[in-house]
Amino acid sequence: MNPLTVTRAAALALCCALAPAGHAADRFPSQPIRLIVPYAPGGASDVVARLLASTPGGGLGDRIIVENRAGGASVAGTSIVATAQPNGYTLGVVDSAFPINATLLGSKLPYDTRQDFRAVILAATSPIVLSVNKDVPAHSVADLVALAKAHPGRLNFSSAGNGTALHLAGEQFNMVTGAGLVHVPYRGGAPSVMAVVAGETQVNFSAPSTVLPHIQSGRLRALAVTGPHRLASVPDVPTFAEAGLPTVAGVISYGVIAPKGVPDDVVRTLAAGFDARLKAPDAARHIADLGFEVAGGSADDYAKFLDHEIDTAREIIRKAHITTGD
């Protein structure tokens, strides 16, 4: 063999031997990443996913593809994530239905919510607004509770649907206050708000983006918001904590999950990359315009958040006897 060829081969072998053990992982991502959205295009989860995909930076390249796989109250698309190869290239964007379904659907789920996934990052959250029809004689949370107790079973609250985060917020309010508001589910947030505007129901729990135009027009009156601080758009409306009910604390959440078995270093890369994208000025401004708040943080942060959300949802669902048939 040519001596020069031998020398080159030896040099190549030496370089390979000295290459860092984590070199392959350092190249992640080396192919497109799929973000599975378990809903039709246009919803909040879809908007969050497309924002994560289109915002540059974070070391995740420019090949993040959003795929909408709607069906089964988000279960169909989430199942794709559960059974994907655990290499970090197939992820899911989930909302509050993910921790709620762990109890609401239970054994009907084709996956185990706690065991079959890895948390990647909590992308954004949205507070929940308690509002009443303008003709309801309640100008505070205390007024509403007193009114409900004085007229048992006469006050209804509407939500975006049975078993949603908004329904659970109302039931948590009932559990904490003993108000006894009667739940009336609607097919979506907008119809549930219009029901209160029209006087079909008296009380509503909704996302700010859906209800704020009616509050600002005077057709609805906001009494409180969940979350740690007041909304800038309605600064006179107290938080539930300020109203004396700190345990009424549910939020609507949007996060990224991966299949179980994705290596720790890949999860850390994904979390850091998405965190950087979420905190880019344009992305943060877009999220704020939607009525959401940027969350971000680490995978461990989101894992702890999900554990808390699953436990809280389980308690509310069981105590309020919520089923999919309600």
Q: Which percentage of the chain shows pLDDT scores above 90?
A: 87
Of residues 17 and 116, which shows the higher confidence score? 116
- Does residue 10 register a pLDDT over 80? no
Tokens of 299: 């995978």
The pLDDT assigned to 324 comes to: 83
The pLDDT assigned to 213 comes to: 95
Q: Which of 146, 158, 92, 156 shows the shortest CA–CA distance to 119?
A: 92
The pLDDT assigned to 27 comes to: 84
The pLDDT assigned to 117 comes to: 98
The pLDDT assigned to 289 comes to: 87
For residue 279, give the 3-state DSSP assignment.
coil
Q: Which of 263, 308, 304 shows the shortest CA–CA distance to 121?
A: 304
For 317, how many CA atoms within 13 A lie in the half-sphere containing its CB? 23
Q: How confident is the model at residue 291 (pLDDT cuts 50, 70, 90)?
A: confident
Question: Which architecture characterizes domain 129-225 according to CATH?
Answer: 3-Layer(aba) Sandwich (3.40)
Residue pLDDT, tens place only, 47-99:
999 999 999 999 999 899 999 999 998 999 999 999 999 999 999 999 999 99
Q: State the average pLDDT for the chain.
A: 92
Q: How confident is the model at residue 15 (pLDDT cuts 50, 70, 90)?
A: very low
Please check whether residue 40 is in contact with residue 70, taking contact to mean a CB–CB distance below 8 angstroms: yes
Please check whether residue 157 is in contact with residue 201, taking contact to mean a CB–CB distance below 8 angstroms: yes
Tokens of 94: 């989930």
For residue 5, give the 3-state DSSP assignment.
helix
Tokens of 179: 């108000």
62 by Cβ neighbours in 10 Å (0-12 / 13-18 / 19+) ranks as exposed
Residue pLDDT, tens place only, 221-250:
999 999 999 998 899 999 999 999 999 999
Q: Which CATH number applies to 31-125+252-320?
A: 3.40.190.150
The pLDDT assigned to 26 comes to: 57
ω before 29 within 30° of 0 (cis)?
yes
Q: CATH 3.40.190.150 in the chain: give the residue spans.
A: 31-125+252-320
85 by Cβ neighbours in 10 Å (0-12 / 13-18 / 19+) ranks as exposed
Pair type for strands 220-225 and 129-133? antiparallel
- Does residue 257 register a pLDDT over 50? yes
Q: Which amino acid, one-letter code, is at 191?
A: P
- Average pLDDT for residues 208-215, to the nearest whole number? 94
- Distance of alpha carbon 208 from alpha carbon 212, whole angstroms: 5
The pLDDT assigned to 11 comes to: 45
Q: CATH 3.40.190.10 in the chain: give the residue spans.
A: 129-225
- Does residue 326 register a pLDDT over 60? no
Beta strands in 165-305 (DSSP E): 182-185, 203-206, 220-225, 252-259, 293-294
- Does residue 261 register a pLDDT over 50? yes
Q: Which of 272, 216, 287, 242 shows the shortest CA–CA distance to 47?
A: 287
Report phi then psi at 293, rounded to 5.
Answer: -125, 135
- Average pLDDT for residues 94-106, to the nearest whole number? 97
